[in-house]
A and B are shown apart, each in its own frame.
Chain A
């Protein structure tokens, strides 16, 4: 295997593992820009993945699975919204609670319904997403350089993969070019300005939270309907937190979010690739170290390279009309 081929394989798997990160980080972008901190991306993604796996297994339809994922995720978002917007609770506590509840509930329900140790039944074709092959992909695969790039990097991914990357400019456009986006960003900075302009702070924040739910639904559905064929307990494995880290690393900007997710995805792909392979000068590296590498690098990147990340000013603070 020549270097170029290795690179293509590495980038292809980077894209594959980045998709849930992109969805989840964009989800977080919507709520956090509106001033609601959301640590429950992880829980929503996991809940959505379970709902998708379960619904697809029962109905044998991938679309039913996708809709179930979005519904469950939006529902969890509304719980977070009710606690932190309407009841003005602590947003971190609410988010952590959702993560815990989902982590437990998916296993209990999975065991009760399917009796496969917390898994959902393996999905057959038709109940899971298939890869989309671009026209002529196979024909030009052998053309040097362009061939593999077109056939392996651009073509041959799931529909949700293309959607994830399309969501980056779409999110940017919504946030920076629409009235909804202007108001959403304003409410995350100074809800008083929004309130005195005659706009409902509460309804605006709920809408942001619902956007977050929909995107987390896609992230979860991707995990159990596309990346693998069914739900496995704890399958998000901290991706929600990595997405949150990517969001901070990207300073709450959509295009930066994509690049941050790709970087974290690349580290993940690299770790998988290097497992068991002896490194020059160092020799054999324990598997555990390679698996921990993305997380170690996350810490280093966040601590050292991010510069000053200024979160939305009203983030984490419930809005109370001053008396």
Chain B
């Protein structure tokens, strides 16, 4: 089993001034799962796109099964047995599973014959790899996990022996991710070679045989997974020691700053997403809300922030109702000391086409410091932005750069700087580190603890259980719109996992 499936020799690639891949060497053993880890922008995806023929390397050589191959386009890659599951699925949403699998490998000019053959082949693949999916279902009607399965089937249908998966768990729930890993294990058992690109250390440790680390376009190390540790990999990724465990002292809870009473929220379809939820957050504590995505956490946050109107219940901010005559006004709430870091920074938190300094005051633009009521005071806004850039180490340090040009971690820092620097009483944060690289995660976590120690009441919602456990002073678990239990951060992952799956909670509610 010591054969090499893929060997890259001296791969080099630049996009204009960006040197995305610098002299990359990589050997992937046949029949193994090989992880490639690195921060966002380290060049992982570019490297794999070169391997799949999506881009051409400026120089370097690719060997597949020991033979040098010039991969000029995806067609060549497919013909030498390389298949790719893209981060953003390359599926046609209003086509059926079968049509998507066939696309580009139809055999005949006229579809009929090919359809029958594809159906048989798909059936065989489903059975061989236990990848069941209804061939006549429309992609848009399938959950994300199954869509991903179709992508894998697409690659297998093209007789791929080497499967590249680009950040496959980014869109999956923990349960779906576990399922995917079982599938990958099975594919490995059948002799397939798998390359897994990710920036999540846990996944690397859980499933890979070997791991290569990329940093700023370079391949910095390759390790056997069994012989390395999360700490070593994190250090290799970032290039310095990283604190994965957040250090924090005892919390000293004060007065109740935020109180939610019997809050019920329906979504746009009229489905009850938050069902009579009550809790309190005190000054100087972090309350974490754990749960699998889609159990009402998003709607809860939006209702507290005044973006979504609840159908019942009240939110008290500093003891006073947040909504005046059934109408909550986000601007009013901000002026009363509520700061909100939304879950979705691209659509809610930022205007990506604005320059950094404009986003740094978004929502606070009426403040007399920035505006006289008619005109904005551009100089003051830019000075203010530069101050925040320094304090939050936002890179590149350019207040006039378009926000879309910052990395995910730096975009998140722009939002955090804007909300935290207002010195709020209550800070509500959704998914603080989603799409953020390891180095920035450490910084963001530190800032959140600092806010707590300054006596702010912090409500934290995250689907990353590790994050909830390491930051929170109290953990509330949400399932199907209800709070099904409260635990201390010392609770085990298994205990919280059961609550999140709604198993323990029902028992507790019944008692």
Q: Which residues of A contact B (CB under 8 A)?
A: 177-183, 185-186, 189-190, 192-199, 313, 321, 323
Contact = CB atoms under 8 A, between A and B. Distances in A.
A78 B15 CA distance: 30
B95 A194 contact: no
A179 B94 CA distance: 17
Given A189-B94, A196-B84, A179 B111 contact: yes
Interface stretch (B99-107, B241-249, B317-325, B406-414): B99-107
A179 B109 CA distance: 5
Interface stretch (B60-68, B73-81, B205-213): B73-81
Contact of A182 (B55, B73, B102, B154): B102
B110 A194 contact: no
Interface SS of chain B: helix, strand, loop or mixed?
loop
A198 B111 contact: no
7 contacts: A177-B110, A182-B99, A190-B92, A194-B103, A196-B84, A197-B104, A198-B77
Contacts of A183: 103-104
Interface centre among A185, A198, A321 (most CB of B within 10 A): A198
Given A178-B109, A182-B102, A183-B103, A196 B95 contact: no
Given A182-B103, A183-B103, A198-B75, A193 B110 contact: no
B88 interface: yes
Contacts of B100: 193
A77 B77 CA distance: 33
Nearest to B109: A179
A193 B15 contact: no
A182 B111 contact: yes
B74 A196 contact: yes
Contacts of A177: 110-112
A189 B54 contact: no
Contacts of B75: 198
Contacts of A195: 54, 74, 90
A94 B77 CA distance: 36
A149 to B, nearest CB: 35
B111 A193 contact: no
B108 interface: yes
Contacts of A199: 103-104
Given A182-B103, A198-B74, A323-B15, A193 B90 contact: yes
A197 B105 contact: yes
B458 interface: no
Contact of A190 (B74, B84, B93): B93
Contact of B73 (A178, A198, A313): A198
Given A179-B108, A186-B95, A197-B154, 4 more contacts: A182-B103, A182-B111, A189-B95, A196-B86
Nearest to A188: B92
B93 A313 contact: yes
Contacts of A189: 92-95
A195 B84 CA distance: 12
A204 to B, nearest CB: 11
A171 to B, nearest CB: 15
B389 interface: no
B171 to A, nearest CB: 16
A190 B88 CA distance: 11
A291 to B, nearest CB: 39
Q: For A183, A193, A313, which residue has the most chain B Cβ atoms within 10 angstroms? A: A193
Interface in B338-391: none
A96 B74 CA distance: 36
Contacts of B108: 179
A230 B122 CA distance: 57
